[in-house]
Structure 1
């Protein structure tokens, strides 16, 4: 296990380095004239050249990259070219919002998808057909459209839930939870269905194994059979899909945050990309890749803990 963790950490560091390097090169070569974007179209060529020199854009790409990399290794991702706010501070202010939405969405997906998937696998009747239909509908509905419908019904018409805004959990846990109901619901409509299908397929596969028939013949209760043996062996594929869903939810949260006016990294990423704010983009990329690496590592550890065969392999 120790060597497994070392290999995964090393590969994660290499991945972060590679993605950051590629992002830096692409943005430097194709990101447009950031100095012109900052000063506006009315600025003179002399003013643009002076601003470019101030930002270091007149220096060679390799030199600028090495300077950024050296500072980043010490935890300094620079300052936003447009807001003049340190990148670390902007991420620290906005990242908890996005992480709250995505984490709650993943937990809701895991619980509901497990219940639906196991029920559909055990009862091959209307529940199974419901999961199949729900999966198709969930894939077909865009999450931003679902978000608009939810806001119209539950916020504008019924006045049951807030339409916009975010309250930190440390300030008011109740208002924090109420503010996440609509964004999380809009995010998980499609992910619950697809994850439930994976749980259903994996559960059916395990139920048809010889060791399950042997356990049934020994008189083990149905509940113990499902939760102590079947679910543990079927958890691997479901956890893998859930990790992929986490990455997808991070991307979907960009649009959802716009709809619900949440001050997360979604709006920050959109603004930084359209403006060509290289320090902000690099900070976002590094944080997102690190988060994905950590989530995949946690999923691998959970899979090994639940399934000894996966742990050995």
Structure 2
């Protein structure tokens, strides 16, 4: 077991290094062009060359990568090229916004998806068909489109919720909840559409197992069979689906935070990309 874990850890480390180097090479190749983007089109070639040397972009790519990697090992991810703010500071100051939205979203998705998936698998009929149609529709609607519709209807039209902005929970819990309702709703709709259908399929597979019929013949109540034994055995695939959903939500927060002007990691990534702030 120890050897197996060690092999998996080494292979994972090698894969991580390979991915990081490929990503680094994609964004850092062309040092003079990067320096010109930082300085702007008005800078002359001498200024561009000086900036490239200052940022270390004149060095061979492999040396730049190992310099960056040594900093990462020490916990130093570099500094923004447009401000004195460190990358670590930029992330830690914004990650709470992203995590608050994503955590609330995944909790709601988990609860609603399990309820819908189990009910559809047990009741079948029109409930099952409705879930399948709703899942297809929910997956087909882009989350940025849903976000804009929610803003138009509930913020601009009805005036119930703020259209943009974020209030930390430590400042005012009620205003914090109001500021994340629409972003969470935009994420949850697509998340439930994907997860509920998968949980339904996993639950149906469990209900077809021989041990379920055995439990029923032994006189166990239907409630115990469905909610205690069957749901427990279907929780493995459900947790896998929800964990993938959580990762996907963090990536999807890039678009959602841009739409709702939330100062999280998504907005940081978008603004840094537009400016060319590679670190």
TM-score with structure 2 length normalisation? 0.93
Matches of 2:96 and 2:83 in 1, distance apart?
Answer: 20
Structure 2 match to 1:68 = 68
Q: Tell me the equivalent position of 1:143.
A: 143
Q: For residue 33 of structure 2, what is the aligned residue in structure 1?
A: 33
Alignment correspondent of 2:257: 257
Equivalent-residue separation in structure 2 for 1:111 and 1:6 (angstroms): 36
Deviation (angstroms), 1:168: 1.7
Deviation, 1:251, is 2.1
1:44 aligns with 2:44: yes
2:170 paired with 1:170: yes
Q: Secondary structure at the match of 1:163?
A: coil
Moved more, 136-145 or 244-253: 244-253
1:189 aligns with 2:200: no
What is the root-mean-square deviation of aligned Cα atoms in Å?
2.0
Alpha-carbon distance between aligned partners in 2 of 1:76 and 1:239, rounded to the nearest angstrom: 33
Deviating 4+ runs (over 3 angstroms): 1-16
> Do the aligned residues in 2 keep the contact of 1:183 with 1:256 (CA within 8 Å)?
yes
The CA deviation string for residues 209-255 of structure 1, in whole angstroms up to 9 with x for no partner, is: 11001111112122221222111111222222222222222222111
- Determine the structure 2 residue equivalent to 1:89: 89
- Helix, strand or coil: the match of 1:278? coil
User: What is the SS of the residue equivalent to 1:263?
Assistant: coil
**Displacement after TM superposition at 1:41 (Å):** 0.7
Q: CA deviation at 1:275?
A: 3.5
Contact 1:106/1:242 (8 A) holds in 2: yes
Deviation for aligned residue 1:73? 0.4
Any unmatched runs of 5+ in structure 1? 280-313
1:22–1:100: structure 2 CA closer, same or farther, 3 Å change rule?
same
Q: Is the 8 A contact 2:121 2:204 kept in 1?
A: yes
Equivalent residue for 1:295?
A: none
Following superposition of structure 1 onto structure 2, how do residues 204-243 of structure 1 map, counting pairs within 5 Å?
A: 204-243=204-243
Q: Which residue of 1 aligns with 2:269?
A: 269
Q: Give the Å deviation of 1:117.
A: 0.2
Q: What is the alpha-carbon distance in structure 1 between the residues aligned to residue 56 and residue 232 of structure 2?
A: 55
Per-residue deviation, residues 78-121 of structure 1 (Å, max 9, x unmatched): 10112231111101111111121112111111110000000001
- Per mean C-alpha deviation after superposition, the further-off stretch among 167-176 and 118-127 is 167-176
CA contact 2:31–2:58 (8 Å) conserved in 1: no
Change (3 A) 1:30 1:187: farther
Q: What CA deviation, in whole Å up to 9, does each residue of 1:145-173 have, x standing for no partner?
A: 11111111111121111111111222222
1:245 corresponds to 2:256: no
Deviations 1:269-295 (A, max 9, x none): 12323333232xxxxxxxxxxxxxxxx
Q: What residue in structure 2 maps to residue 157 of structure 1?
A: 157
SS of the residue corresponding to residue 29 of structure 2 reads: helix
1:130 matched to which residue of 2? 130
Partner of 1:121: 121
Matched, 1:180 2:180: yes
In structure 2, the gaps of 5 or more residues are: none
Equivalence for 1:101: 101
CA gap of 1:213–1:187, structure 2 versus 1, over 3 A, is same
1:164-211 per-residue CA deviation (whole Å, 9 max, x = no partner) reads 111122222222222111101101212201211111111111111110
CA contact (8 A) 2:151 2:163 kept: yes
Distance 1:112 1:223 in 2: 19
Name the structure 1 match of 2:53.
53
Post-superposition Cα deviations, 1:116-151, rounded to whole Å, max 9, x if no partner, equal 000001101221111011101101111111111111
